[in-house]
Amino acid sequence: MAFSLACVTGAVYAGAMPVDWLPVAGAAAAVGSLLPDIDEPESKLGRVCVPLALVIKLLVGHRTLTHSALALATVILLPWIWLSGELAIAVSAGVGIGYASHLLGDAMTPQGIQLAWPQPARFSLRWFRTGSAEDHLAFFGLSAASIAAVLSMV
């Protein structure tokens, strides 16, 4: 989630996104960063939707369908069914940034993700393990960068 918020604040800071989109896009990014792990009953979102998480995990496994480019494209397009105009753009961009940041974070681990699901090949950058010192350092660094970027815009 910290990475997704850092990406949204970075987009605003770089001028790629209007400042007044920050609350909506930031909230959408926070939700989007949790969505891929709906395939894991022990995840934050999976604990809220245990039956759905169990079904997805049993049918396709962890870090497969919900960690694919297909799922990313779907969550980017879904807001356009219910929303329009700048709100749709802000929500779509935010949820897309959040979702993509989650996929990138998982791709940095040795387990990787099935980015081209249903193709079985896993994509992994093998930079660090989940829960390692590097993982925590990245979390705190990105959180600090996000807070600094937001404060500099106020």
Q: In this complex, which beta carbon is closest to Zn ion, that of residue 44 or of residue 84?
A: 44
Is 105 a binder of Zn ion (CB under 5 A)?
no
Residue 1 three-state SS: coil
CA angle, residues 73, 109, 145, in degrees to nearest 5: 75
* Rounded least distance, CB 36 to Zn ion, Å: 5
* Rounded least distance, CB 130 to Zn ion, Å: 9
* Rounded least distance, CB 103 to Zn ion, Å: 8
* Rounded least distance, CB 21 to Zn ion, Å: 26
* Rounded least distance, CB 136 to Zn ion, Å: 17
Q: Which helix (H) or strand (E) holds 100?
A: helix 85-107
Quick one: which of 37, 38, 68, 149 contacts Zn ion (CB under 5 A)? 37
**Alpha-carbon distance values, 153 to 9, 14, 49 (Å):** 10, 11, 36
Stretch that binds Zn ion, among 20-28, 71-79, 103-111, 129-137 (CB under 5 A): 103-111
Cis status of the peptide bond prior to 110, with omega within 30 of 0: no
Is 106 a binder of Zn ion (CB under 5 A)?
yes
- Here the tokens at position 75 are 């969550």
How far apart are the C-alpha atoms of 71 and 55, rounded to whole Å?
16
CB 107 within 8 A of CB 113: yes
Is 79 a binder of Zn ion (CB under 5 A)?
no
Quick one: which of 3, 11, 31, 36 contacts Zn ion (CB under 5 A)? 36
- Here the tokens at position 118 are 């249903």
Q: In this complex, which beta carbon is closest to Zn ion, that of residue 21 or of residue 99?
A: 99
Report the interface residues with Zn ion, using CB under 5 A: 36-37, 106
